[in-house]
Amino acid sequence: MKKIQIGQSDIVSSQIALGCMRMADLGVNKASEVIETAIDSGINFFDHADIYGSGQSEIIFSQALKNSDISRDDLIIQSKCGIRDGFYDFSKDHIIHSVEGILERLDTDYLDILALHRPDALIEPTEVAEAFYQLKKSGKVNYFGVSNFSTSHVDLLQQALFDKLVVNQLQFGLKHAGMVAHNMNVNMENETGINRDGAVLDHMRMKNITIQAWSPFQYGYFDGVFIDHPDFIKLNNSLEKLAQKYHVTKNGIAIAWISRHPANIQTIIGTMNTGRIKEVTDASDVVLTRQEWYELYQAAGFNLL
């Protein structure tokens, strides 16, 4: 599998990561199988959040690791914090307390990356900076990032930090590609031309912050999966044609479309199905041609002018 450097860090990671949100639904033995399959398939990056399964996903993950021969040193572990019951909280005390809980549940001494989960309207950048500095100095977190942040949110926070942010998690895929589409509809009076994110894709590239694509198979906001969906026949036909050409599956081609973008986007897949992990990673070496990339883009419903 292709390896990428994560932001301005020394982390070299698999371009595909495993999101562990659904791991709380597994038993320890099944979770061990999932982790081992991911590792055997070339994945070394695992994404968590303190709210996944109300913390149970992290507990199952740590128990599953103990149940395997996998070393913590061979893994890149990221977790996120900041979402509470009914509100967001980026206060210094909450960030530090959250990390202590994450480390306890994961049974590890450190996180490779800590990301702030969703923008807190009441954020005090200097307070976040103090929390990050304390966590870095104590060896509990090596690098920091954000999730679902706009360009202005990133810049507001970055100006107060001692360390460079290295990741920004954003929803992205064939049916959620607005941050690509609006760039090709500049100054057009149409729906696609509306810039809703402050040109976040270009901005992250300029700042050398790795975009992590979440929910790559979803259309809308958790409305469903577009693979084999009867409402997206044209897209699925295009995916199937390329799947046959490259001897992989439609799921694999959908991820290859993301990986083909020159931003070196890291895709987070959230499946706990070992067969699905294999079929996606089996396509990790597929490099779509420029024509194929645009064919899928248009089949997904985006027009070229």
Contact 62, 298 (CB under 8 A): no
52 catalytically annotated: yes
> What is the rounded distance in angstroms from the CA atom of residue 68 to the CA atom of residue 59?
15
Looking at residues 212-230, what average pLDDT do you find? 92
Structure-token pair, residue 190? 């149409």
- The residues facing 77 across adjacent strands are 46
| Catalytic residue from among 52, 143, 219, 297 | 52
* Alpha-helical regions (H) of 195-264: 200-207, 233-246, 250-259
Domain ranges of the chain: 12-299
Rg (CA), the chain: 19
Q: Is the pLDDT of residue 201 over 90?
A: yes
> What is the rounded distance in angstroms from the CA atom of residue 104 to the CA atom of residue 250?
39
Instruction: Check residue 227 and report its DSSP letter.
Output: T
pLDDT tens digit string along 123-168?
A: 999 999 999 999 999 999 999 999 999 999 999 999 999 999 999 9
Q: What is the DSSP string of 193-205?
A: T---SSSHHHHHH
Q: At residue 18, what are phi and psi to the nearest 5 degrees? A: -105, 120
Instruction: Check residue 184 and report its DSSP letter.
Output: G
Say which CATH architecture domain 12-299 belongs to. Alpha-Beta Barrel (3.20)
- Look over the chain and give the mean of its residue pLDDT values, rounded to a whole number: 96
pLDDT tens digit string along 90-119?
A: 999 999 999 999 999 999 999 999 999 999
Kindly report the number of other CB atoms within 10 A of residue 65's CB atom: 23
